[in-house]
Structure 1
Amino acid sequence: MIAERELRVLSVLDSPKGRQELADELNYREDTVSEALTGLARYDLIHKERVGNRVIAKPSDARCVEVLQSLTKSNPHVDFPDVLTPSMLNILYYLSSGDAWTATELAEQTGHARATIYRGLRTLTNRAMVIKQHSQYRLTEEFNDLHTFAHELQHHIHRVRIKQDIGSGTLVWESHEEFLVRTDTEVEHPDYHRTGLDAFAEYGLQFFTTSEQYYFYSEDRNSLTPGDLFCHLLLIENDSRHRKYALLLAVKADLSPERLKTAADEYGITEIVNPLVEFLKTEGGKVSEATPRWEEFETLADEYGVEL
């Protein structure tokens, strides 16, 4: 995660500057600036080049850099690097002016203790960046770019991680700490878990697949559950074919409606999954545009040796 001193350097790097210039502006030692620049370069947030005996740093064109510098210029009275701690960035990733959250909901979403959430919300409320209505909190319109910065920063970090770990890939879905990536590359990294139709083979479901492969990145998970695979397939492609294959997995892995709904909530696809859950619960009694006819599903299940 980006450290405070790195944020300070980034917030004032609105044009190419040398280490001594940055050290003077921030009242830092030059070696402290050098360490910060190294950290920022590691995340592709700046570019460094040598001009004679000087190292010149230039801001990258990443959207998060632009947003941070805009916030700094528009609110010179706010010490953003002091506010934007790692836990605060996690909170701001979800908290915006458009969506209201309770402290409990934010704790569940971020994984932080409620004491940490309340401390962060108190900081934002005291600075008039957040308003509280009943038990819900939301960012003010004036400071909604805090959410934009947190989101864009993590998106940028995910893209850099993909580049460094596997060379190339396209983000399909992401949260603050995890992401789903499409790639043409075989990935052996322990934090990347194979998903998509290829992973269904573990449950005896073998499908024809293309050269594209899908991996789910997570530092915290040792493996993926059938509920994860069910949701990942719908995130990859929510068409009639993939919905039928997801339904086959749900039956083969004996996924309960509760487990499916919990997984759907986690990935933010509750509206997609609910009709499929009702279809299975009622054995085709409740159909929708998102579901096949039960007879069609019976034929497919028989083809793949799945007992309904």
Structure 2
Amino acid sequence: MPRRIELEVLATIDRGDTISELATKLDHSESYLSRGVGDLVEKGLVYTERDGRRKRVVPSDSRAVELYQDFVRQHSHIDFPELLTGKALQVLYFLDEPRTVAEIAEQSDNYRNTVNRVLKRFRDRGLVGVDDGRYDFNADFDRLHKFARQFTHHLHRQRLEAVASKGTILWENYDEFLAQTETEIDANGFHETGLSRFAAFDLQFLLTDHRYYVYSDEPDTLSPAELCCHTLLVDDSSRYRSYCLLLLSHVNVDEDDIRTQATKYDLEDEIIALLRYLETHGDVTDDRLPEWDEFQKLAAEYEIET
């Protein structure tokens, strides 16, 4: 997430400012300012151009930069570089609707005290209000949530493009994303997922040319529940649901884990339907699930008991 100096540069920069001019505007040394600009270049939020012996700094066309600069111009009395440091963007990311401190803490994986401190800063400046224990934005400050989402998406795109020239983000949250690529990725944080990983459970399927990776700081051992959710995010068709049913029938899946993962990926209805299907031996009404006798034949092909 951005440091204060980076947010100060983004808030201040006019197209074509030099390092020296920015240092003067922000009252920082040129060396300190240069390091901040370097970090922004690495994130793809600004780029530099040579003008003789001078280096000019130009904001990128990222939607996140546009939203941030527009907001700073409209609310120049608010010190956004100070306000949006630390865990602020993470809290904003999950404030997509009125939420309690406990809800934000759970979704963002933070302590309640941390979320409370951030929300107090926002409330003291009139950005949010609270009603019946739920925090929500005042006036047009809900655009801060859009900025947090765009900023996070931009960083995810940068991270993906650094290791795969052609890639598509299929799902994302604050610190994770699921991507489809045409090439193999061998980089820290990227863990292969989807049907190819079913082989670890002795389930071999005909694969497409695409590869699927989840980016996460978590260990690279993906649970069957996670694999199932990732597969449904890739393709929610009847065929892929049948593959997930095979996996759920074949391995011991912790029901609490799969329900937790379903909530994380917003797949509660889909996962409940799969679990209900197996519990009732197909006694559900869902066009995207096979008839029970068809599934039994498929399971027999893979030597799986149903």
Q: Common fold, TM-score beyond 0.5?
A: yes
Quick one: distance in 2 between partners of 1:90 and 1:198?
A: 32
Structure 2 residue runs without a partner (length 5+): none
Question: CA shift at 1:70, angstroms?
Answer: 0.6
Quick one: distance in 2 between partners of 1:263 and 1:178?
A: 13
Give yes or no for contact 1:6–1:37 (8 Å, CA) kept in 2. yes
Structure 1 residue runs without a partner (length 5+): none
Aligned counterpart in structure 2 of residue 221 of structure 1, from 213, 219, 222: 219
Question: CA shift at 1:16, angstroms?
Answer: 1.9
Aligned counterpart in structure 1 of residue 143 of structure 2, from 142, 145, 168: 145
Residues 89 and 221 of structure 1, relative CA distance in 2, 3 Å threshold: same
SS in structure 1 opposite 2:163? Answer: helix
Give the corresponding residue for 2:107.
109
What is the correspondence of 1:1-308 to structure 2 with a 5 Å cutoff? 1-96=1-96, 99-308=97-306
Quick one: distance in 2 between partners of 1:290 and 1:126?
A: 50
Quick one: distance in 2 between partners of 1:297 and 1:137?
A: 47
Residues 274 and 290 of structure 1, relative CA distance in 2, 3 Å threshold: farther
| 1:14-59 Cα distance to aligned partner (Å, 9 max, x none) | 4221112111211222222211110100011111011011100110
Quick one: distance in 2 between partners of 1:236 and 1:193?
A: 15
Give yes or no for contact 1:287–1:293 (8 Å, CA) kept in 2. no
Compare 154-163 and 135-144 and name the one that shifted more. 135-144
SS in structure 1 opposite 2:180? Answer: strand
Q: How many residues align?
A: 306
Quick one: distance in 1 between partners of 2:108 and 2:200?
A: 30
Give yes or no for contact 1:260–1:277 (8 Å, CA) kept in 2. no
One-letter amino acid matched to 2:30: E
Identity %: 36
Give yes or no for contact 1:257–1:281 (8 Å, CA) kept in 2. no
Give yes or no for contact 1:301–1:307 (8 Å, CA) kept in 2. yes
Give yes or no for contact 1:180–1:214 (8 Å, CA) kept in 2. yes
Instruction: Give the aligned CA root-mean-square deviation in angstroms.
Output: 1.4
SS in structure 2 opposite 1:142? Answer: coil
Give yes or no for contact 1:276–1:290 (8 Å, CA) kept in 2. no
Provide runs of 4+ in structure 1 moved above 4 Å: none
Quick one: distance in 2 between partners of 1:276 and 1:131?
A: 40
Question: CA shift at 1:210, angstroms?
Answer: 1.2
One-letter amino acid matched to 1:92: L
Question: CA shift at 1:190, angstroms?
Answer: 3.7
TM-score by length of 2: 0.96
Compare 172-181 and 257-266 and name the one that shifted more. 257-266
| 1:145-183 Cα distance to aligned partner (Å, 9 max, x none) | 111111111100011111223443211111111111111
Compare 252-261 and 31-40 and name the one that shifted more. 252-261
Quick one: distance in 2 between partners of 1:171 and 1:74?
A: 32
Question: CA shift at 1:125, angstroms?
Answer: 1.3
Question: CA shift at 1:103, angstroms?
Answer: 0.8
Quick one: distance in 2 between partners of 1:233 and 1:120?
A: 36
Question: CA shift at 1:260, angstroms?
Answer: 2.2
